[in-house]
Structure 1
Amino acid sequence: MTKPAEMAVRAGDKVSSESRTLEELLDIQKAAFLRDGIPDARTRIDRINRLGQMLLDHSDELTAALTADFGTRPADLSVAADIAGCMIDIAHQRRSAEKWMQEVTVNKLQGLVGFKQRLRRDPLGVVGIMGPWNFPLQLTIVPAASAFAAGNRVLIRPSSVTAKTTDVIARVAPDYFSIEELAVITSKHGGGSDFAKLKVDHMFFTGSPEVGSSVAQEAAKNLVPVTLELGGKNPVVVDKSYDIAKAATSIADSRMVNGGQVCLCPDYVFVPEDKVGEFTDKVMARWTKNFPTIVDNDDYTSTINEKNYNRIVDLIDDAVNLGATKHQLKPAGEELPNAGARKIPPTILTGATPGMKIEDDEVFGPVLTVYPYRDLSEAIDKINSAGHPLTLYWFGEDNDNLKTVADNTRSGSISGNDFGLHMLSSKLPFGGVGRSGMGNYHGEFGFNTFSHARAVTVSKLPMSFAENMVPPFGKREKRATSIQMKLWRFLNGRAMKKSAKKR
């Protein structure tokens, strides 16, 4: 039976999370969860609504903070991805939470003879969410909405790299939430490793595989389950029959979303051998059109910080020093790469070979590596040698070649002919596999991630299962066992014969 929790922001209760320690905030939320019990649909929807309203009420301030954190970042991108982009899943959670939380009767026929079976999806309790810096609102707020829909309390830790954006959220959150419901964790509470040590009921992390590994190790010490949304070098395969100009235009745009600082950006491309030159020219032409200037262009997103700027420049230099060819867009009169503005020119690398750092490292910047291929097997072998990516891009028809690639590779998702459209669907999961992550969210997948599927059985059967499982084992029990074994041998033998006929 679910019930309403106390309404969140009471008079005189606008307490900042920074007034309490990490451990105090966790204890407060755990105590509130136990005190109020499982929240009803009205309470959950109210929390989701307030989460969305917090973003909408402060959209201008948040957009300005995002620009300040990056150096330059298009305001339209921040609104579309980090504010409006959150509302898609928030709306779906709000619309569906009441349906998803309902207890479901299963195996109704068995219930008629006395074996009743039900499935509950109960909240876990307190969820910890660690957000990244590249989309610090969307990738923190969206999982928080899912956690609210599932009936949980939430501790969020937005990235300390985007400190100005985190400061805004931490300051305004008390106007919308009691710290019993949502607490914003900042650098004043300690580092990310401190947050990872918390004995929450579920830890959700978005970021790099390296940091994700350490988060999982810390969580494992407390037997805290984790969802890891990580990165991965996302490959692109352009089918031989596909229009190379269309592919080049879309891939050029996809690489430059948020300055290439997106876990879904394409990282390297396989192009039919005889079309590599044309593809490279078309990509460079698209970038030239989109970015007539770079250094003083407010629509050209800066690399987030000096550390990442130097890392990406080093990847390019290392590849060139080892024999790769670089193709860079450098508008006349501009000094690029530009350390002061933290801007790296859009770059294509050809001729990359094993041993170059860019062969192994996720770029997370405006660099695209292009490989020629004669047969799909070459692309498939290369993809499989690089670890499972978050997504795999396919430019071509929905044909047998796509099926071949899908059947012989592993990735979190497959995106055909456009940039990450599965992010927009409330019916599809978002998540990785292997090195690109574990678990998923969005829509009902997010609700399930933050819920416990709880079995309930009630027996009115004339026999006792427990009685049949303990001594003494008499003739009746032995006869029952013999009948079971004969039945299963018959059924399994029939299944094997049926399977053999289909070969």
Structure 2
Amino acid sequence: MTAIETLSTHDTDHAQLHTILHAQQAAFRAAPMPSLEQRLQALKALKGALLKNKQALCEALSRDYGRRSHQDTLIADILPCVAQLNYTRKHLKKWMKPSRRHSGLMLVPAKVEVIYQPLGVVGIIVPWNFPVMLSLGPLITALAAGNRAMIKLSEFTPATNQVLRKMLADLFTPEEVAVIEGEADVAAAFSALPFDHLLFTGSTQVGRHVMRAAADNLTPVTLELGGKSPALIAPDMPIPLAVERLIYGKSLNAGQICVAPDYVLVPEDKRDEFVAEYQQQFQAMYPKGVASEDYTSVVNARQYERLTRWLAEAEQQGATVLPCHPDARDDQGHRMITHLVLETRDNMQLMQEEIFGPLLPVIPYSDLETTLATLRRQPRPLAMYLMSFDTALQQQVKTTTHAGGMCINDTVFHVAADDAPFGGIGASGMGHYHGKEGFLTFSKAKTVLSRGKFSTGKLITPPYGGWLQKLMLAFFLR
């Protein structure tokens, strides 16, 4: 194993990060524009390796979590990557094609086009909640755009990292794709490297540190953060249907999703109906509570302790906590089913911070317009969910509230739209990837003006004041 192949969890020599980066930069300079065929071949190979390793990845993620539903991994980690690979391979030729632009009368005769060049070396910082999708997803886009990549995996998913590292090492040289592991100090050093672009997925708090470190190198960043994504149930929406549409988005991966519904706003006269319906539907999905094979654990003891601490704090301040199943917690196995939290206060920790787990505050409201005004004053979340069939209300919420993305009468599935950008706004992030927008994020759109033997540029050079220049200025300054 050479010095540039990988950093193990125990090897935190920051100098190696620069060695890997310099090797990739040199390789990029030697081959700065991979062909369409080369890119397609890389994507094809990656798809084959992913399908070959899907069972190993499911088992590894379950080991990392203590228990993680294989179905959760297949649906939320493996399937999105396969779909993205298929979509990208189908459209890449069109994306790479230079686009013709109008030169305008003032520049005639000239040809203007925009070409899409790879940026160079892309850094990808991966969180623990979906380590396959959130490492390979950005990698797919980076490779499609012709870049090389360094991937910093989370220290909280060591078994999954081992599978990913071997899979990628079998496909790519270290000068093409390099996998980095290590603790927080390695992540900090990684974010301070002079990448050509840096993509970070994680918390808003850490995102600020990443952007600050990148600023020293003027490294452009794409930040996929999170925030408190609301689910608003309008008065016209039947409660059973509303619960059906949002419960999966909160149950998948035990709510450890950046776009999971963080809290629910429900008409005050329907709050109790919502609680009863949610508990009933949850028990139908997970009849054994925390013992259900289909239910995923909280990732580790640290995150579990955070959630239980927030619950205890809320109860001490007067909140009512209602588990959705009698078998609600397994402290030793850090497993917790969804807990509905009523009578919350704004100063509670779970109302201040993104929950990122199986806690769901249920907040009644009496006036819809007041509620919408309150939402507009909040930090802009990564997702907004509206449950309503009122088309006028749908249009109002779509156009007057801000969020990274939105679902109407559903949750989380907008992330799976291959032909649409994904990204936050404000405190929930900046920039986009997925689909064509991802290709553009990891490319330099360079304008190229070409002239032949004749150029009108000579007509405007000094000495100034000739009759032809005066005529031209009079014409264009109308």
With structure 1 as the length reference, what TM-score do the two structures score? 0.88
Establish whether residue 434 from structure 1 lines up as the match of residue 416 from structure 2: no
Establish whether residue 313 from structure 1 lines up as the match of residue 287 from structure 2: no
Deviation at 1:112, TM superposition (A): 10
Deviation at 1:224, TM superposition (A): 0.5
- CA-atom RMSD in angstroms: 2.4
Mapped to 1, the partners of 2:321 and 2:304 lie a distance apart of 17
1:171 matched to which residue of 2? 166
Deviation at 1:69, TM superposition (A): 0.5
In the alignment, which of 6, 11, 23 is matched to residue 18 of structure 2?
23
- Name the SS of the counterpart of 2:88 in structure 1: helix
Q: Contact 2:200 / 2:207 at 8 angstroms: preserved in 1?
A: yes
2:11 matched to which residue of 1? none
Establish whether residue 252 from structure 1 lines up as the match of residue 247 from structure 2: yes
AA at the equivalent of 1:220: A
Mapped to 1, the partners of 2:3 and 2:472 lie a distance apart of 65
- Name the SS of the counterpart of 2:188 in structure 1: helix
Return 78-87 or 289-298, whichever deviates more.
289-298
Mapped to 2, the partners of 1:189 and 1:388 lie a distance apart of 27
Deviation at 1:109, TM superposition (A): 7.7
1:447 matched to which residue of 2? 439
Deviation at 1:475, TM superposition (A): 6.2
In the alignment, which of 330, 341, 350 is matched to residue 342 of structure 2?
350
Establish whether residue 81 from structure 1 lines up as the match of residue 76 from structure 2: yes
Deviation at 1:364, TM superposition (A): 0.6
Return 247-256 or 113-122, whichever deviates more.
247-256
- Name the SS of the counterpart of 1:380 in structure 2: helix
1:38 matched to which residue of 2? 33
AA at the equivalent of 1:416: I
Kindly tell me: are residues 317 and 381 of structure 1, through their superposed partners in 2, closer, same or farther at Cα, counting changes over 3 Å? farther
Q: Contact 2:394 / 2:408 at 8 angstroms: preserved in 1?
A: no
- How big is each residue's C-alpha offset from its partner over 1:211-263, in whole Å with a ceiling of 9 and x where there is no partner? 11111111110010000111111101112111111102222222111000011
Mapped to 2, the partners of 1:188 and 1:349 lie a distance apart of 34
AA at the equivalent of 2:52: D
AA at the equivalent of 2:6: S
- How big is each residue's C-alpha offset from its partner over 1:169-188, in whole Å with a ceiling of 9 and x where there is no partner? 12332211111211111128
In the alignment, which of 102, 124, 132 is matched to residue 137 of structure 1?
132
AA at the equivalent of 1:165: T
Mapped to 1, the partners of 2:123 and 2:147 lie a distance apart of 10
- How big is each residue's C-alpha offset from its partner over 1:324-380, in whole Å with a ceiling of 9 and x where there is no partner? 22211342xx4x533211122311112212222222111111111112222222221
AA at the equivalent of 1:186: E
Kindly tell me: are residues 447 and 130 of structure 1, through their superposed partners in 2, closer, same or farther at Cα, counting changes over 3 Å? same
Gaps of 5+ in 2: 9-14
AA at the equivalent of 1:338: D
Kindly tell me: are residues 422 and 251 of structure 1, through their superposed partners in 2, closer, same or farther at Cα, counting changes over 3 Å? closer
Deviation at 1:413, TM superposition (A): 1.0
- Name the SS of the counterpart of 1:214 in structure 2: helix
- Name the SS of the counterpart of 1:187 in structure 2: coil
1:411 matched to which residue of 2? 403
Q: Contact 1:326 / 1:349 at 8 angstroms: preserved in 2?
A: yes
2:333 matched to which residue of 1? 341
1:369 matched to which residue of 2? 361
In the alignment, which of 81, 93, 102 is matched to residue 97 of structure 2?
102
Mapped to 2, the partners of 1:189 and 1:306 lie a distance apart of 18
1:390 matched to which residue of 2? 382
Q: Contact 2:151 / 2:177 at 8 angstroms: preserved in 1?
A: yes
With structure 2 as the length reference, what TM-score do the two structures score? 0.93
Mapped to 2, the partners of 1:382 and 1:367 lie a distance apart of 22
2:292 matched to which residue of 1? 297
In the alignment, which of 51, 75, 88 is matched to residue 56 of structure 1?
51
AA at the equivalent of 1:386: Q
Alignment of 1:190-269 (within 5 A): 191-269=186-264
- How big is each residue's C-alpha offset from its partner over 1:262-318, in whole Å with a ceiling of 9 and x where there is no partner? 111101111122111111110011112222223433322111122211111122222
In the alignment, which of 452, 457, 460 is matched to residue 464 of structure 1?
457
- Name the SS of the counterpart of 1:191 in structure 2: helix
Mapped to 2, the partners of 1:479 and 1:154 lie a distance apart of 53
Kindly tell me: are residues 253 and 174 of structure 1, through their superposed partners in 2, closer, same or farther at Cα, counting changes over 3 Å? closer
Kindly tell me: are residues 463 and 289 of structure 1, through their superposed partners in 2, closer, same or farther at Cα, counting changes over 3 Å? same
1:187 matched to which residue of 2? 182
In the alignment, which of 279, 284, 288 is matched to residue 284 of structure 1?
279
Q: Percent identity?
A: 34
Mapped to 1, the partners of 2:88 and 2:101 lie a distance apart of 24
